[in-house]
């Protein structure tokens, strides 16, 4: 039987967005998890570019950007359950998501790598969760090479991580201001793709327990990272991200399709 396939890097927060939308819409899929750098060959072979997630649908359609995957999931849902509402609310949702994809996503990832690459061995169970044995062997044998590839490719350095954290703090401030009127979600009363984007992309700095792939506990993180994670969790935007995870990550909505 041909199945939907989702090509991922297990800890990737962009992949988490896609996984969340698929899980929420109860769309069956097989997740094919790969190590960073090795993912490129699999993403390309699946019909995507060099990034993951890539969704290959049972009918052969390929979606290689997380917003496109979320929209594909919406197509199976009743209008009231869709993550992109119709009309101006949907436009606002897409604008917010695009802003978070371009800013918070890369910033939180860069900062997370700067904080965790020195502790790569301890992070191995999370980096490798669900990957093939041969990829796990490559990781054990060439952690240093992967470390330097990620540093070079993403520009990971202490200076860049500090600048990324400044921008993350600004994003958290903006999200906090948006929520200050008491609204339950970023676009008002309705849970949307903007909430999924914020919670998933902030996961690299909030390390939520309900993430769709195993993540370390606060105690397992390098102490300096744990301190920053605790600080961000206490921010109104951080508390919002954690609440959205707790209340929405395991929620499944009914499908309108067959």
Ligand X SMILES: N[C@@H](CCC(=O)N[C@@H](CS)C(=O)NCC(=O)O)C(=O)O
- Per CB under 6 A, the segment of 12-20, 134-142, 180-188, 207-215 that binds ligand X is 12-20
- Is 65 one of the binding residues for ligand X (CB under 6 A)? yes
- Residue 6 CA to residue 28 CA, distance in Å, equals 10
Q: How many CA atoms lie less than 13 Å away from 143 in the CB half-sphere?
A: 13
**For ligand X, the closer CB: 66 or 172:** 66
Residues contacting 164, CB < 8 A, separation 6+: 106, 107, 108, 110, 111, 114
Least Å distance, CB 48 to ligand X, is 9
**For ligand X, the closer CB: 52 or 207:** 52
**Per-residue contact string for residues 86-105; x = within reach of ligand X by CB under 6 A:** ---------------x----
**For ligand X, the closer CB: 54 or 237:** 54
Least Å distance, CB 64 to ligand X, is 7
Tell which one of 14, 63, 240, 245 touches ligand X (CB under 6 A): 14
- Per CB under 6 A, the segment of 24-32, 47-55, 132-140, 212-220 that binds ligand X is 47-55
Using only C-alpha atoms, the chain has a radius of gyration, in whole angstroms, of: 18
Q: How many CA atoms lie less than 13 Å away from 177 in the CB half-sphere?
A: 5
Least Å distance, CB 245 to ligand X, is 18
- Is 50 one of the binding residues for ligand X (CB under 6 A)? yes
Tell which one of 12, 108, 114, 131 touches ligand X (CB under 6 A): 12
Least Å distance, CB 115 to ligand X, is 16
In DSSP notation, 138-171 reads HHHH-HHHHHHHHHHHHT--HHHHHHHHHHHHHH
Least Å distance, CB 9 to ligand X, is 5
Burial of 84 (0-12, 13-18, 19+ CB in 10 A): middle
- Residue 127 CA to residue 108 CA, distance in Å, equals 16
DSSP 78: -
**Per-residue contact string for residues 108-147; x = within reach of ligand X by CB under 6 A:** -x--------------------------------------
- Per CB under 6 A, the segment of 6-14, 140-148, 162-170, 238-246 that binds ligand X is 6-14
Whether the CB-CB separation of 55 and 63 falls below 8 Å is answered with: yes
Both structure tokens of 88: 């101006």
Nearest to 33 by CA among 8, 50, 12: 8
How many residues sit in the footprint of ligand X (CB under 6 A)? 13
Q: Name the site residues for ligand X (rule: CB under 6 A).
A: 9, 12-14, 40, 50-53, 65-66, 101, 109
């Amino acid at each position: 039987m041909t199945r939907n396939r989702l090509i991922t890097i297990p800890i990737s927060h962009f992949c988490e967005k896609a996984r969340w939308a698929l899980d929420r819409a109860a769309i069956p899929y097989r997740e094919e998890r790969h190590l960073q750098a090795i993912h490129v060959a699999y993403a390309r072979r699946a019909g995507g570019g060099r990034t993951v997630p890539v969704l290959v649908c049972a009918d052969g359609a390929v979606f290689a950007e997380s917003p496109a995957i979320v929209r594909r999931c919406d197509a199976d849902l009743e209008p009231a359950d869709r993550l992109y509402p119709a009309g101006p609310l949907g436009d606002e949702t897409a604008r917010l998501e695009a802003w978070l994809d371009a800013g918070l996503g890369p910033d939180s990832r860069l900062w997370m790598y700067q904080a965790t690459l020195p502790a790569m061995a301890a992070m191995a169970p999370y980096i490798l969760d669900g990957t093939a044995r041969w990829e796990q062997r490559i990781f054990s044998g060439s952690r240093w090479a992967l470390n330097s590839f990620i540093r070079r490719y993403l520009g990971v350095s202490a200076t860049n991580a500090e600048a990324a954290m400044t921008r993350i703090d600004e994003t958290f401030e903006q999200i906090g201001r948006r929520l200050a009127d008491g609204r339950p979600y970023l676009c008002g009363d309705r849970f949307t793709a903007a909430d999924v984007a914020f919670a998933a992309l902030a996961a690299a700095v909030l390390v939520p327990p309900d993430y769709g792939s195993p993540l370390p506990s606060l105690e397992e993180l390098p102490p300096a990272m744990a301190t920053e994670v605790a600080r961000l969790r206490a921010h109104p935007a951080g508390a919002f991200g954690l609440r959205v995870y707790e209340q929405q990550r395991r929620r499944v909505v009914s499908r309108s399709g067959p």
